[in-house]
Amino acid sequence: MSSNTRLSRAYKNAQTLLFDDSSKFIFFSDCHRGDNSFADDFANNRNVYFHAIRHYYKEGFQYCELGDGDELWENLHFEDIFEAHKNVYQQLREYHLQNRLHMIWGNHDMVYKDPSYVKNHLGSYFEPIDESKKELFKDITYHEALILKHRHSGQQIFLVHGHQADWWNYTFWRWARFLVRVLWKPLQVWGIADPTSPAKNYKELIKVERRIKKWILNNNKLLTIAGHTHRPRFASPGEIPFFNDGSCVHPRSITGIEITNGAIVLIKWHIATKEDGTLQVVRVVLEGPKDLKDYI
């Protein structure tokens, strides 16, 4: 099966969410939340990320995660990740309780393709304090892709992780996961990166981007937001409307895409040092805002 077919199939099977100019969305992906060990790339950014998702929650945003949220290649069990980043999951649960949480699976959390796995591992957790089972993401659905459809203009935005355009990481994800566990994770400590990951291999990254762009051109220039490659992308009106929200495992920052007031913007959050030596988590606009209607 080709990249084109996989993306088309994901599009065809995607659920549609309606939105309008008053809707607010934050898109993050590739958090690779781990167990807080040396190999947990998310751990460096956990405070920045937590502050950002708190901010968006208070501002009334819907949270969309475009895959690879949980690092389930390096870690065998969600439970270890949950324990390491409990505050994050409690905040995501608040979104879920208000129907403001939309989750898409990627290659590192492809096990979430299976609804019974999701129910068993994400539905509830064990609370050792009072030795009871507590609700977490009750009845949550994980998607391969989602479509946002504007209530008035009918404009569509396609949301997908992007490994559909990466045959090794889509078709052979179990092999890729196995190699990460036995080979690349130990080598990572020595500074040797997994060459099959587009996030760490520039040539692969360019190929994945090119295949997604080709699919966009074949599909009426459908505005598409993906993750997977970790490289933030922002298209100007008139260009192929391919967007990528980057990742939450950049060395000192997280990047994401916001939609508010009918406009799209690429942002980053990082820790800035102020004149008096105190540290502050700040949001910086990288690209945009640009009106969504200019991409129709």
Distance CA 14, CA 7 (A): 10
Q: Which stretch binds Mn ion (CB under 5 A): 7-15, 107-115, 253-261, 284-292?
A: 107-115
Nearer to Mn ion, 136 or 199 (CB): 199
Q: Is 106 in the site for Mn ion (CB under 5 A)?
A: yes
Q: Is 247 in the site for Mn ion (CB under 5 A)?
A: no
Which residues partner with 225 through β-bridges?
Answer: 159, 243
Q: Which stretch binds Mn ion (CB under 5 A): 7-15, 50-58, 140-148, 222-230?
A: 222-230
Q: Which stretch binds Mn ion (CB under 5 A): 35-43, 54-62, 122-130, 226-234?
A: 226-234
Please give the single-letter amino acid code of residue 208.
V
Interface with Mn ion (CB under 5 A), residue total 4
Distance CA 222, CA 123 (A): 34
Least CB distance to Mn ion at residue 274 (A): 35
Residues 6+ apart with CB under 8 A from 1: 171
Q: Is 121 in the site for Mn ion (CB under 5 A)?
A: no
Residues 37-76 that bind Mn ion (CB under 5 A): 68
Nearer to Mn ion, 107 or 156 (CB): 107
CB atoms within 10 A of CB 214: 15
Least CB distance to Mn ion at residue 243 (A): 16
Least CB distance to Mn ion at residue 108 (A): 6
Which one of 107, 224, 244, 247 is in contact with Mn ion (CB under 5 A)? Answer: 107
Nearer to Mn ion, 126 or 178 (CB): 178
- 92, 54 Cβ separation under 8 angstroms: no
Least CB distance to Mn ion at residue 195 (A): 15
Read off the tokens for 170.
């889509």
Nearer to Mn ion, 92 or 110 (CB): 110
Nearer to Mn ion, 229 or 253 (CB): 229
Which one of 228, 230, 250, 268 is in contact with Mn ion (CB under 5 A)? Answer: 228
Distance CA 34, CA 138 (A): 22
Q: Which stretch binds Mn ion (CB under 5 A): 116-124, 134-142, 172-180, 223-231?
A: 223-231
Binding site for Mn ion (CB under 5 A): 68, 106-107, 228
